[in-house]
Each structure stands twice: as structure tokens, then as C-alpha cells.
Amino acid sequence: MSVEIAHNLETIRQRVAAACQRCGRDPHDVQLIAVSKKKPATLIEEALNAGQTLFGESYVQEFIDKQQSINGTPHWHFIGALQTNKVKYLTGKTELIHSVDRLSLASEIDKHWGKSGAVARILVQVNVGDETSKAGVPVDEAIELVQQLATLPHIRIEGLMALPPYAEDLEQVRPWFRLLRELAEKIDSLNLPNVSMATLSMGMSHDFEIAIEEGATLIRVGTAIFGARE
């Protein structure tokens, strides 16, 4: 098992490097998040031992439980849908929250991080495909939301995140990644204070290479590292 996770990580690193080479990007500009939701702490420790330091979790309770039991010091990102009443449990435990899609949620994060004198790093999740089943601010409301969030003193907006519609044919996914990048460029051009658009979180196990070609700086890969989830 141990060998397998190390092997999977190595394969993904090679595919990231190849994708970067194809589009003339520096592989150091693409960070791999190992998405460990629904996977036990032991597998996270195996990935840590294989040199993977950054992990993504989607469920607050599961994350808190696991995070306490792990040997080692992984860096954590929170990537899942987040209920406002659960924000307090995440305070200080995660380096980047990818899934901020409404003012009420951001205000709660601002309040809790502010209490400890910290600034929360966040991404704004955009529902690029306008899917009712998915979280994220609609594309045409994203700029207004970013402008509102930018006024919160204990929030730092670092970019955008998306979970585009699934398609077997990866060329059908590409336009969604491009849309997110173009939206980030548009927001960047507004030069809003407290807003950076340096981070684009997009691409998962089946489509991370296309996402890299379209500008992803964070890719979120679960299955291709840890195997299928229950």
C-alpha cells in the first residue's frame, strides 16, 4: 500500500511536469493538493512519508478528527462546502479555504479569524457551469461578491476556485477552466485593495492536466493518489 501511494504521487508529479512543459509553465507554479477526504489518517501519513505536504479536506468533522490523530505536520486546505455554523471549528487549523461563495460565510470567517488576530486566506468558489447541484457564486455575481469580501479586515482573497461540470471528453471541460482564468484576469484588472488573483484552484484526478494548461496554480487530486472513495 505504502509503495502504491508513493508511486501514484510520483506518477502525478511527472504528469504535472509534462503538462507544464507542454504549455511553457514552471512546475513550481503548480502545487498539488492531495485530497484525503474519506481516507484514514494512516494513508495521509503514507503520503507524508512519500514527501507530499499539502492536503485537502472537505468535511469539517472528519477533518478535525483526523487532523488531531496524524503523526507529522501536514499543511491543510479546506476545499468542501462550508456551513456558516461550522466555521468556528476550522479557525486556525487550515491555511486556505477554497470554498467561500457568499458574504455571510466570509463574515463568519472574518469574525473568527479576527478574534485571534489572524487573517484568513480564502479563494472565492465560482459555479462556472451554473449547476444547481454545486456550490459557488454564479459567474455574473462573482465580481460584486469579491468587492464585498474585500472590505472584510480579516480576510485575504487570493484567487478563485471552481469545480466544473464533469465531462468524459476533456476538451469539453477546458472552456470552464478558461472561463475561470478569464474571470480572474478581469477581477485582477480592477486592482481592488486586499484582492489578489494569483491563485487558481482547478483540476482534479481526471482533468488536472487540462487545468494546468489553462493556468491552474493549485490542483486538487484525490482518487488518483488514494484510490476510489467509498
Ligand X SMILES: *Cc1c(COP(=O)(O)O)cnc(C)c1O
In the complex with ligand X, the residue whose CB is nearer, 71 or 223, is 223
In the complex with ligand X, the residue whose CB is nearer, 125 or 154, is 125
Q: What is the DSSP letter of 121?
A: E
What are the E-state strand segments in 105-213?
A: 120-127, 137-138, 155-162, 195-201
How many Å apart are CA 99 and CA 63, to the nearest integer?
A: 15
CB of 224 to ligand X, least distance (A): 6
The site string for ligand X over 14-33 (x = CB under 6 A, - otherwise) reads --------------------
In the complex with ligand X, the residue whose CB is nearer, 82 or 204, is 204
What are the E-state strand segments in the chain?
A: 31-35, 54-57, 75-78, 96-100, 120-127, 137-138, 155-162, 195-201, 218-221
**Subset of residues 200 to 229 that bind ligand X, contact rule: CB under 6 A:** 204-205, 220-224
Of 43, 155, 163, 212, which one interacts with ligand X (CB under 6 A)? 163
CB of 56 to ligand X, least distance (A): 7
Instruction: Return the half-sphere exposure (C-beta side, CA atoms, 13 A cut-off) of residue 206.
Output: 12
CB of 155 to ligand X, least distance (A): 20
In the complex with ligand X, the residue whose CB is nearer, 150 or 170, is 170
Identify the H or E element spanning 118: none
How many Å apart are CA 63 and CA 45, to the nearest integer?
A: 14
CB of 192 to ligand X, least distance (A): 25
